[in-house]
Structure 1
Amino acid sequence: MSPIRRDRTQAPSAFQEKIKKWHEEEQYQQIIDAIEALPQTQQTPDLISQLARAYNNLASPEDRDLFEKAAALLKSVEDQFVQDHDWNFRMGYALYYLDQELKARSYFEKALELRPGDEDTQSLIQQCSRSLTLPNSMKPFSERTREGWESFLDGEAGLRAMIDDRKDGEAVAERCHQLLAPAFYRPFFEIGFNGDKYDLILSPDGDRSRLFKLVYFKNHAPEKVFDHWNILIGRQPAKGFELRMYDRTIGLSDARVWVEKLKDKQLGLSIYCEKLLPLVKKNENQAYGLMTVLLDQAIGEIPAIRYIGYMDLLEEPGQGEEFCLDELMEYISRDRELVTADELCTWYSAYEMTPSGEEDWSLREDVFAGVTSCLPIPRAYYQGDDEIMEDFHMDGAVPGFFWYPLDGIDRDQILDLRDEMEQKISAKAGDAVTFTGGATGVSLGYLDFIAWNLDQVLQAALEVLGNVPVKEAFFHTYRRNVGSICLKKEET
C-alpha cells in the first residue's frame, strides 16, 4: 500500500511554507531534518505531528523503527490532538504497519468520525478488517526467526566482547535487543557468562502463551549458535539471590511463604516480607512486580508458570506452617516434576463448558468440552480480550482454529476425525504450525493451532480438507469480532 499523503491547514509562516513545499515534493527527510534541528522549545505539538507524518511517509513497510518513531511522537502530543482527524489518521497509519491492526482500526474509526465520508480513511478501515480476518500480509514468524538468528550470529562476537569487557549493562542489553529485533517486536531476555559459555535467557515475562514463540525460536537456532552460547527459556533459579530494585535490596531469605494446595498440583502463595511493606503501601503494582522477579529467581520462571496459581502479598505474618522463599524449590520438588518450557508447551489441560442457549450464538459458544496446551488463548477469546493476539501478530504468528459442522459424523468418530485432520495438515505444513488442541461443540468441531507461517498452513489445510468427511470447513483467527475464511464448501 503506497503512502496516503495529506496536509492540514497551517498558520502561515516561512517555515510552514517550506514544510508544505517539501511535503508536496515528497522530500520527507528534509522535513525531518528541519524540524529536528529546531530547539525543543520551538517544536510545537503541530510540528511534532507533522514530523510523525514525515516518518510515516518516509518509511517502507519493513521500516518498523520509523513507524515506531512516528507512533511515539504522536503519543507525546495525544492530549492536544485526540480530537483531530489527522492525528488519529497518522497514529492509525503507524500502528497498521506495526502489525497492530486492531488498535489501528480504532484510530481510523475515530478519524472517520471526525471527517465523515473520507475515502482514504474508509479504505484503511477496510484494510484493517481484512487483515484481522486473514492476517497473512505481515512477515511470518518462521521467516522472522530465520532472520533473527542470522542477525544474532552476525553480531554475537561483538556482544561477547562487550560482556568480556564489562561494558555498561544497559549498552549490552541494547545491543542484544538490536540483534533479536528482527524476530521479536518486544523481546524479554537476560544475558551473561557462566564461566564456560555465554547465556542467552529468553523470558516469556510470566506469560505462558509467549512460551510457544520462544520454544519455536530456540528449536530453530543454527548449530553454530551453540559454539559459544547456551539458549535458555525462562529466568533460572539462583540460590541466595538478592534483588536491587526500586531503591531497596531484598533477598530470598527476607520473604516468608505460606502455601495453599490447589488443583492440578498448583500452589497458592501468601508472602510476607517486612522489607517490602513500605512499597506495598506506596505502589502495590511495583511491589508485586518485584516479588514476581524474586519468585522466578527462587524456583525458576517455567516452574513458576506451571505451579503457582496465585501470589498474595501480606501486610502482616500469616498463620500456620511457613518457610523461607529460598526453600520453595525444595518444597515443590518433593512431589512435582520440574518441567521445561518444551514440556509445558505439550502439557494439555481439559476443560468443560456450558453451551450457549441463545439462538444467535457466536463461534465456540456451543462448546461443551475441549483440550488445550495454551489455555490463555481460548480464555482470552471468551473474555473478548485481544491483547494476546496483538502480541502474537506483532511477531508474525497467528493463533487460530479450523471449524466445521458435525452433522453426519458419528459422535464416537468426532475425536478421531479431529486427530486425523491434525496429523495430515501437520505432515504437509511441517514446522509452519503447532497444534494446541481442539474442542467439541453441540453443532461444530474445532481444531486449534498457532501458525508460524499462515499461508503454508492454509495451503496444507486446503489440500487435506478436500478429502475428509466434512461438508464445510473454515479458518478463523482467535478473535471474536472478525469473519471466517471458507476452505471447503460442498455444493448441495
Structure 2
Amino acid sequence: MNDLLPRLERWNEEDKYQEIIDAIEALPEGELNFTLISALARAYNNLAIDVMPPEDRPLYQRALDLLLPLEDQLEAAVKEDPDAAHTWNFRVAYAYYYLNQESLALPYFEKALKGRPGDEDTLEFIDRCQQGLTLPLNVRPFRARTQEAWTAFLAGEGELRALMDQEDREAVGRELVDLCSELLAPAFSNPAFELGHNGEKYELILVPEGDRTRLFQLAYFQKHAPRELLDRWNILVGRTRARGFGLRMNGQDITEADVQVWAEKTPDSGVGLRMYCEKLAPLWREDQNQVYNIIYILLDQSLGELAAMRYVDYLDILKAPADGPSMTLDKLADYVAAEVDPEGWPQANDPELAGQRYTAYEGKPSEQEDWPLRADVYVGVTCCVPLLNGYFQQDDRCMDRLHRDGVVPGFFYYPLDGVERKEILDLRDQLEQAITARCGEGIVTFTGGATGTSLGYLDFIAWDLRTLLDAAVEVFAGAPVAWAAFHSFRFNVTGISLKQEEEE
C-alpha cells in the first residue's frame, strides 16, 4: 500500500488512467479506503475526457457512484489530509459538470474553493458553471441530438426487432431495454419508454411520466422520426387508451369498473377527480403511494396518458365513498367527451395538441423599487405551467433535466414604454411570428407570454438556442422597442442583452 499511492500519482501525471483503474479495482474490497476510492473516481473522470459523448456519460456517472457514498467519511478524511475537502468536492463537481448538470456542480465547486482558496482551476469552473446556467450555449442542442438519436435508432432497430421477436421475451428483457436506451441516449440522458407490437407494427412508446415539460420534448422528438422508419414502427407519445384493462393484485383483479369517481369540472376545460376503490382499501392502510400508482395506471389506461395529463387538474383518493352521484372509471372518458371538452376530446391524445392547453393567469405587480424579473406581471397565458412554477419557486429540477438534454426554456423581455395598451398583444404576436419565420422549422416552440407594468414577456422552449438567439437579435433590431434581452427560466441567473438602448 505504501508504494501504491506514489505509483498512482505518477500514472496520473503520465495520463495512464486505465492503469490506475485496473490497479485499484484489483485490490480486495477490504483494502479500499477513502483515498483510494477517491483516486479511482479521479481516474474515471480523467479517462472520460478522451471519450466522445454520449459514451463518456457512464464514466462520469461511475465517478459519482464512487464519490457520493464517501461523503460521510469526508470529515474524518479532512482531519488526516486537509486538502481532501478540496479534492473530494472538486471531483464530484467535475463529474456533474461534464454530465451537463452545472446547477449540481456549482455548489461543490464553491465548497472546493473553500478547501483551497484562490485555486485558479476551481475559479474557472465556477465561472463556467455560472455562464452555462445563464447562457447554455455549450450544451449540444436537442435539435442536433434528435437527429443523432434517430440515425442511431435506424441503424439499430433491426437488432431491436429481432429481440422483440424472441418467444421468451422475459429472457431478453434486460438486453432489450439496454439496447433501446443506448439507441435513444444521444437525445435523452434518461429515456423513459415502452416497447410493443400491435399486430401490424412494432411500437416505441415514449412516456412523459406526467411531466408536462417532457411532453413538449417527446412531441418534438416524435415529429422528427425518419419516414423510412414508419413503415415498420409506430412512434407514440404516451400510453394509449386500453379498454377493459385490469391489474391483478393479491389474488384479485382490479379493473376500471372497480373504481368509483366523483368528478367536477374545473376552469379551462379541466376536471377534478375524487376516487375510491374498495378492493384497494386494505392496501391504502399499508402503502398509500402504491395505491396512487395503481390508480394513476388505471386512469392512464382509461383516458390515455396524454388526455389524463391534459384534463386532470387534481386527483384525491378517498378512504371511504363520498356523497353525491358518482360513476365508475370506465365511464370517465365518456363524461370528459360529453361534458368537459366535446370539441377537444377527439384529439386529446395527440401530443402536439395536448401541449397546447393554455392557462390564463393574473398577478399582483410588485410594489418594490428593485423588483425581480416577471414580478411586474399582471396578466399572462401559458401552455407550460410547470416552467412558471419552477421559476417563481426557484426550483430548477425541471430545468436541470431539460438542460442535460440540450433543451432550453426561456423568455424574451422588452420594455413597453411607448406601446399602447391595445397594441401590447399585437406586438408580442408579431415578435413571435417574425422570430419563427427567421428561425425556420424545428428551432423553437413558443409557450405563451405575459404583460407587466413595465415589461413584455415572450416565453418559449428552445431546441437550438444559438440559432434562436441569432434570429431574435435580427428581429429585435427592427422592432419598436428600445432594448431586449433573453433570460432562461432559472430565477437566480442574469439576463443576456439582445438589443441595447441607443444613447442620446
TM-score (norm. length: structure 2)? 0.91
Could you give the per-residue CA deviations for residues 246-302 of structure 1, whole angstroms, max 9, x where no partner exists? 998643333222223322232222222234334433333333233222221221111
- Structure 1 position 417 matched with structure 2 position 427: yes
Shift, 1:245, TM fit: 7.6
Could you give the per-residue CA deviations for residues 118-144 of structure 1, whole angstroms, max 9, x where no partner exists? 222222111100111110101000000
- Structure 1 position 16 matched with structure 2 position 5: yes
- Structure 1 position 316 matched with structure 2 position 327: no
Could you give the per-residue CA deviations for residues 356-413 of structure 1, whole angstroms, max 9, x where no partner exists? 1111100010011111121211121111111111111011010011111111222222
CA distance in structure 2 between the aligned counterparts of 1:345 and 1:123, rounded to whole angstroms: 39
In structure 1, which of residues 178, 202, 209 is the aligned counterpart of residue 213 of structure 2? 209
SS of the residue aligned with 1:177?
helix
Amino acid at match of 1:289: N
CA distance in structure 2 between the aligned counterparts of 1:127 and 1:245, rounded to whole angstroms: 51
1:295–1:221 CA distance, 2 compared to 1 (3 A): same
Unaligned runs of 5+ in 2: 79-84
- Structure 1 position 75 matched with structure 2 position 75: no
Unaligned runs of 5+ in 1: 1-11
CA distance in structure 2 between the aligned counterparts of 1:317 and 1:379, rounded to whole angstroms: 33
In structure 2, which of residues 178, 187, 212 is the aligned counterpart of residue 183 of structure 1? 187
CA distance in structure 2 between the aligned counterparts of 1:285 and 1:341, rounded to whole angstroms: 27
Q: How does 1:5-404 map to 2 (within 5 A)?
A: 13-60=2-49, 62=53, 63-81=56-74, 84-165=85-166, 166-168=168-170, 169-243=173-247, 250-335=254-339, 336=341, 337-338=344-345, 339=348, 340-404=350-414
1:248–1:484 CA distance, 2 compared to 1 (3 A): farther
Shift, 1:109, TM fit: 1.4
CA distance in structure 2 between the aligned counterparts of 1:187 and 1:246, rounded to whole angstroms: 31
CA distance in structure 1 between the aligned counterparts of 2:250 and 2:286, rounded to whole angstroms: 11
Q: Is the 8 A contact 1:245 1:290 kept in 2?
A: no
Q: Give me the CA root mean square deviation.
A: 2.0
SS of the residue aligned with 1:153?
helix
1:423–1:71 CA distance, 2 compared to 1 (3 A): same
Q: Equivalent residue for 2:446?
A: 435
Amino acid at match of 1:411: R
SS of the residue aligned with 1:357?
coil
Amino acid at match of 1:436: T
Q: Equivalent residue for 2:455?
A: 444
Amino acid at match of 2:153: F
CA distance in structure 2 between the aligned counterparts of 1:246 and 1:134, rounded to whole angstroms: 52
User: More deviation in 412-421 or 210-219?
Assistant: 412-421
CA distance in structure 2 between the aligned counterparts of 1:112 and 1:288, rounded to whole angstroms: 44
CA distance in structure 2 between the aligned counterparts of 1:101 and 1:178, rounded to whole angstroms: 24
1:246–1:471 CA distance, 2 compared to 1 (3 A): farther
Q: Is the 8 A contact 2:483 2:499 kept in 1?
A: yes
User: More deviation in 144-153 or 78-87?
Assistant: 78-87
User: More deviation in 51-60 or 29-38?
Assistant: 29-38
User: More deviation in 430-439 or 389-398?
Assistant: 430-439
- Structure 1 position 472 matched with structure 2 position 476: no
Q: Equivalent residue for 2:82?
A: none
User: More deviation in 278-287 or 13-22?
Assistant: 278-287
Amino acid at match of 1:358: Q
SS of the residue aligned with 1:264?
coil
Paired residues, what number?
A: 481
1:37–1:286 CA distance, 2 compared to 1 (3 A): farther
1:244–1:190 CA distance, 2 compared to 1 (3 A): farther
Q: Is the 8 A contact 2:439 2:468 kept in 1?
A: yes
Amino acid at match of 2:482: K
CA distance in structure 1 between the aligned counterparts of 2:247 and 2:63, rounded to whole angstroms: 36
CA distance in structure 2 between the aligned counterparts of 1:447 and 1:249, rounded to whole angstroms: 49
Q: Percent identity?
A: 52
CA distance in structure 2 between the aligned counterparts of 1:85 and 1:291, rounded to whole angstroms: 47
Amino acid at match of 2:164: I
Q: Is the 8 A contact 1:429 1:457 kept in 2?
A: yes
1:30–1:105 CA distance, 2 compared to 1 (3 A): same
CA distance in structure 2 between the aligned counterparts of 1:229 and 1:129, rounded to whole angstroms: 42
Shift, 1:414, TM fit: 1.6
Amino acid at match of 1:75: L
CA distance in structure 2 between the aligned counterparts of 1:113 and 1:290, rounded to whole angstroms: 47
Shift, 1:19, TM fit: 1.6
CA distance in structure 1 between the aligned counterparts of 2:319 and 2:446, rounded to whole angstroms: 44
Could you give the per-residue CA deviations for residues 1-40 of structure 1, whole angstroms, max 9, x where no partner exists? xxxxxxxxxxx62222322221121111111122223333
Shift, 1:54, TM fit: 0.9
Shift, 1:178, TM fit: 1.2
User: More deviation in 344-353 or 37-46?
Assistant: 37-46
TM-score (norm. length: structure 1)? 0.93
